[in-house]
Amino acid sequence: MEKKNLLAVLALMLALLILVFAAKHAGQSEEDPNLTITALSVGKADALVLKQAGHTVLIDTGEKDDGDKIVRFLKNQGIHSVDLLVITHFDKDHVGGAAKVLEHMEVNAVFMPDYEGTRPEYDSFLEALAGRDGVQRLTGTTEQTIGEMKIRVQAAEQADTFADENDLSLVTWVTFGHRKFLFTGDITEGRISELLASDEDLRADWIKMPHHGRYEANLGELLDAVEPSFAVICCSNKHPASADTLKLLDERKIQVFDTSEEAVVTTCDGEHITEVKLQNLK
């Protein structure tokens, strides 16, 4: 009997060791050291998820009905908290799903521009933020590091001069290793001119194109200053990117991907952007 008991104890210990090893291995796979950027397919709207080594940044949240889809995607990715939520501006196709995300996810910090929105989605967003810490209305430029992502977020410098709310969009650069990514919200000609006139180093390897691929007179100048190899356009089949915008990208031999039918997933190891692909995440 004692020998059988000993064998049973040894078998139990072996099983526990296997479980511990499996859990540790699973944890390592969840905390992928690479940077993954997923531009979700949510129509003519922005919702981009950055994930790196267990850290998550969410830039915009699509429209109101996209909130559930974003939460579902995050949870399917094993994400239960967001380190930083950036709402570039308060149009319904950028702030729409924010209240739902805040309701169902732990969100540690929120950045948004310093002006008052006028839409119901903005009101719902503010209600969901009530009593929370870590909420900042940004002016100027702020920088922080999350995991190995170095993040620089810039508000419009001359916000009072812009008649178009889109030009109040927060612009975000994310540096990971030797590669840089630029997220432009919905900026139009006026804000593009402000960026071009600034002392900022606009160069980036990858750009989320402004305003769902709408053409602007100085968009070519912006692309020449950024010099990207890849461009992602958040658009839909009903509202595609402008033909003139696509022509500018083609002339510069920039690889273009859009979210009209599937999500665009970008992977970077810090040295190279190893893959940009379409992926069905529905």
What is the percent of the chain with per-residue pLDDT over 90, rounded to a whole number?
Answer: 85
Place of tokens 């993954």: 36
Q: How far apart are the first and last CA of the chain?
A: 56
DSSP structural state of residue 12: H
- Average per-residue pLDDT in the chain? 91
pLDDT at 38 over 80: yes
- Other C-beta atoms within 10 Å of 178: how many? 11
pLDDT at 3 over 70: no
Cα angle 73, 86, 272; round to 5: 70
Is residue 2 very low, low, confident or very high in pLDDT (cuts 50, 70, 90)? low
pLDDT at 23 over 70: no
d(C-alpha 77, C-alpha 54), whole Å: 10
Q: What is the pLDDT of residues 96-149, one digit of tens each?
A: 999 999 999 999 999 999 999 999 999 999 999 998 999 999 999 999 999 999
pLDDT at 14 over 90: no
| Token output for 154 | 């810039």
Class (C level, CATH) for 31-279: alpha beta
| Token output for 112 | 């948004």
| Token output for 50 | 């950055």
pLDDT at 10 over 80: no
Q: What is the pLDDT of residues 244-267, one digit of tens each?
A: 999 999 999 999 999 999 999 999
d(C-alpha 69, C-alpha 232), whole Å: 20
DSSP string, 33-49: SSEEEEE---SSS--EE
d(C-alpha 159, C-alpha 71), whole Å: 32
Q: What is the pLDDT of residues 188-205, one digit of tens each?
A: 999 999 999 998 899 999
Q: How far is CA 182 from the centre of its chain?
A: 10
DSSP structural state of residue 55: E
Lowest-confidence segment of 82-86, 154-158, 227-231 by average pLDDT:
154-158
Q: How far is CA 49 from the centre of its chain?
A: 4
> What pTM did the predictor assign?
0.89
d(C-alpha 229, C-alpha 249), whole Å: 10
Residues 6+ apart with CB under 8 A from 223: 207, 248, 249, 252, 254
pLDDT at 25 over 50: no
**pLDDT mean over 235-240:** 97
Place of tokens 């033909």: 243
